[in-house]
Homo-oligomer: A and B are copies of this chain.
Amino acid sequence: MADPTLDIIAMGDAIVDVIASCDEEFLTRHNLPKGSMQLLTPREADVLYAAMGQAREMSGGSAANSMAGIAAMGGTAAFIGQVAEDQLGMIFEHDMHALGVRFETPAMTGGPPTGRCLILVTADGQRTMNTCPGASHELDVANLDHQLIAAARILYLEGYLWGPEKPRAAMLKAVDIAHAAGREVAFTLSESVCIAGRKEGFAQMIDGGGIDLLFANQNEVLQLTGSTDPDSALTDLAAKVDTLVVTRGAEGATAISHGERITIPAAPVTKVIDTTGAGDLFAAGFLAARAKRASLERCLWTGAIAAGEVIQNYGARPIADLKALVKL
């Protein structure tokens, strides 16, 4: 089989973040659990947007943020995701290209507009996300670039895209392409994967060996396994994948692979401004290091440093010189 010519290719939501500050009372009034992510209909999104304060817009999307991070660390990355042919779609495309991320999925016309995520940031730096996925959930299997997928050392899939049928089918196809080319498949459990009715299919894919590297936070591990004991849940899940990586926010992260189990603390941070993108940048660091065949521990540290940087600024993409910080 040919050597990979690309470190990572990701499939995920292609959306623009709309970020505003709010107070705790605003979240209560709008019935939004702090730190959560909910999907909004276009109508609900309009109502929430009208109530929100002055905002700034920045390209987002969980796996897209990770690819931005990998490019910023000097890795080579590509992204597959669906935008519409509109101004927000152009902004998303510009930002991917500006970072050197390959992004060639054609913008769609005649469907919903480019997706948005209304992000409310409270004074403690916690983010509450309200996603109106728009065109993003129209990603079709016909839009997959098979050669590009086969060319990447790691295929990285975002759980948010597991819910809607069309992109789920595209992800399953991409897994086949990657495995046929001898590549590694990584998946990040975004909470929505764990919702009843979705997790059965996901469990099947894991049991069938579809996932080599699984990213999850502690809550997701409990939800997916249905267990109440964090430790046994971790052990059970780790048995099903080559490598399991679990993040615990300020309490650090753990990786388990073939019986090896390594835990590291979170990177030291002066001031948390906005936790948006913490998980995305953790995955970016881990994947960028893994593509360079770094040790499990080095992968964890690289993730922690990248996550520590992004939470010290507004928005989900790095501002500091990540390449110098992580020295891969």
Q: How far apart are A25's CB and chain B's nearest CB, in angstroms?
A: 16
Check if A95 is an interface residue, CB within 8 A of chain B: yes
A57–B58 CB distance below 8 A: yes
List residues of A (44-75) whose CB comes within 8 Å of B's CBs.
49-50, 52-59, 68
Chain B residues with CB under 8 Å of A50's CB are 94, 97
For the complex with contacts A20-B98, A21-B319, 8 further pairs of A-B residues with Cβ separation under 8 Å are A49-B94, A50-B94, A53-B98, A53-B99, A54-B95, A56-B56, A57-B58, A87-B113
Q: Are B54 and A57 in contact (CB under 8 A)?
A: no
Residues A54 and B98 in contact, CB atoms below 8 Å apart: yes
Report copies per complex.
2
8 interchain pairs, CB-CB under 8 A: A21-B319, A52-B94, A52-B98, A53-B98, A54-B98, A55-B91, A57-B57, A87-B88
Is A315 part of the binding interface, using a Cβ–Cβ cutoff of 8 Å?
yes
Asked if A317 is at the interface of the complex by the 8 Å CB criterion, the answer is yes
CA of A53 to CA of B98, assembled, Å:
5
User: Number of contact residues on A: which range applies?
Assistant: 20 to 34
Please list the residues of chain A having a beta carbon within 8 angstroms of any beta carbon in chain B: 20-21, 49-50, 52-59, 68, 86-88, 91, 94-95, 97-99, 113-114, 315, 317, 319
Measured between alpha carbons, how far is A125 from B58 in the docked complex, in Å? 20
Q: Which residues of B contact A54 (CB under 8 A)?
A: 59, 68, 95, 98-99, 317
Q: A86-B87, A88-B87 are in contact. Are A56 and B53 (CB under 8 A)?
A: no
Distance in Å: Cβ of A279 to nearest Cβ of chain B: 19
Complex CA gap A20/B97 in Å reads 14
A94 interface neighbour in B55, B58, B88, B97, Cβ under 8 Å: B55
Q: With A49-B94, A87-B86, A88-B87 in contact, is A56–B58 under 8 Å at CB? A: yes
Separation of A114 and B94 alpha carbons in the complex (Å): 18
* Cα of A319 to Cα of B54 in the assembled complex, Å: 10
Interface centre among A21, A91, A319 (most CB of B within 10 A): A91
Least CB distance, A164 to chain B, in whole angstroms: 22
In the complex, what residues of B have CB within 8 A of residue A315's CB?
56
Q: Which residues of B contact A87 (CB under 8 A)?
A: 86-88, 113-114
By beta carbon, the residue of chain B nearest A58 is B56
CA distance A50 to B49 in the complex (A): 29
The 6 closest A-B pairs by CB, nearest first: A57-B57, A87-B87, A54-B95, A56-B58, A54-B98, A53-B98
**In whole angstroms, what is the CA distance A94 to B20 when docked?**
12
Shortest beta-carbon distance from A317 to chain B in Å = 6
Nearest-CB residue, chain B, relative to A113: B87
Please, how many angstroms separate the alpha-carbon atoms of A78 and B58 in the complex? 27
Distance of A57 Cα from B52 Cα, bound (Å): 16
In the assembled complex, the CB of A134 is this many whole angstroms from the nearest CB of chain B, namely 11
> Inside 8 A of A58's CB, which chain B residues have their CB?
56-57
| A49, A55, A56, A94: residue with the most chain B Cβ atoms closer than 10 Å | A56
A55 touches B88 (CB 8 A): no
